[in-house]
Amino acid sequence: MSEVTTVRMRTDTKALLDDLKINPRETYDDVVRRLAKLAYDDEPLTKDEIDAMEEGIADIKAGRVRSLRDVMKDLGDDEVIKARNL
């Protein structure tokens, strides 16, 4: 068995981890390792990905953005807006 350590976290953080468990017997170590693997990407960005990010940044700088609230209104999702207090 590998070495074990204790990690301090807020109770609301623990609750978030509880919600992310695939099954109730999954350990917190398993949950954190699964999340870490999802977050880690060792492949370099492609030119298309970089170009898309630069285009998005240019849109933001030029003010070509819309709020989530406005987009949802256009889609007619008023109930979701009310429920989420957007």
Q: What is the pLDDT of residue 1?
A: 65
Q: What is the mean pLDDT of residues 32-61?
A: 93
Q: What is the pLDDT of residues 12-38, one digit of tens each?
A: 999 999 999 999 999 999 999 999 998
Q: What is the pLDDT of residue 85?
A: 66
pLDDT higher than threshold 90 for residue 73: no
- The average confidence (pLDDT) of the chain is 89
Give whole-number Cα distances, 5 to 2, 29, 31, 37, in Å: 10, 10, 15, 20
Give whole-number Cα distances, 42 to 21, 38, 45, 48, 63, in Å: 25, 11, 9, 17, 32
